[in-house]
Amino acid sequence: MSHCAVMKDSEYHKLYRLEDRHWWYVGHYHIYAKLLELHCPAEVRGKVLDAGCGTGGFMNYLRERYDPQRLVGVDISEEALGFCARRGLKDTRLCSVEELPFGEGYFDLVISLDVLYHARVLDDIDALRELARVTKKGGYLLLNLPAFPILRGRHDVAVEGARRYRKREVEEKLKKTGFTPIRISYSNFFLFPVMLLYRLWSRWFPGDEAEPVSDLSLPPQRINQALSWLLRLESKMIVRFPLPWGGSLTALARKL
């Protein structure tokens, strides 16, 4: 899954319809909320940037839960920002995370969910430096990234994903760009074996699709609720200790 990578218009429409209900998004929102409320409860109510906001699902979550002083979203897709406008999210910019139209140290909290891995981000280190530039001293950065290259599959191809990450790599990149990691943990810990088998199976038996399609679809209600519950459980675990593997990698860091 991805929050905000550049996709075909049909994928944006699916994301807009599903992200408020789909277990992957709902569950991850709980993980992000647990980390933000524990480590930076004031900053999440200050000036907040969603760098790569997609169709605005998490921006809407932030607005309803924390009512930030200012909430800004940026994305390189006009289609995605159009869906943000449908949610009433008007403070958005059409731009790349590698070239942000804001002054140095403007934001208390910068969020970038499933963006740095994308093919259109030419250099993830440059992108992190730009995110650091607009983060105030003492401010925070929240990242989510796809994990483990072995999990690369048709979904990555469909959303133009170019990279998957390991924990040590993310830690080194954060330190190199001026951040101090506070918590770096894998997520989708319980589902990792299933995800691995599914991705390997789809790689060995790719099917007859004319072009790759993403994995974004809503499962039956009871399954959706159960999977969301698993991620809620993981959110309680992650604030206590990092999980050793998973399909995603979540990092909270501070600019010192």
- pLDDT per residue over 91-135, tens digit each? 999 999 999 999 999 999 999 999 999 989 999 999 999 999 999
Beta-bridge partners for 93: 74
pLDDT band with cut points at 50, 70 and 90 for residue 5: very low
pLDDT band with cut points at 50, 70 and 90 for residue 216: confident
Q: Which of 217, 242, 251 is nearest to 24 (CA)?
A: 217
Helix (H) or strand (E) segment spanning residue 29 = helix 23-39
Average pLDDT over residues 236-243: 97
pLDDT, one tens digit per residue, over 38-82 is 999 999 999 999 999 999 999 999 999 999 999 999 999 999 999
pLDDT, one tens digit per residue, over 218-238 is 999 999 999 999 999 999 999
Q: Decide if pLDDT at 2 tops 60.
A: no
Q: Decide if pLDDT at 208 tops 70.
A: no
Q: Decide if pLDDT at 154 tops 90.
A: no
Local structure of 90: helix, strand or coil? coil
Q: Decide if pLDDT at 9 tops 70.
A: no
**Cβ-Cβ contacts under 8 Å for 244 (sequence gap 6 or more):** 186, 189
Q: Decide if pLDDT at 33 tops 80.
A: yes
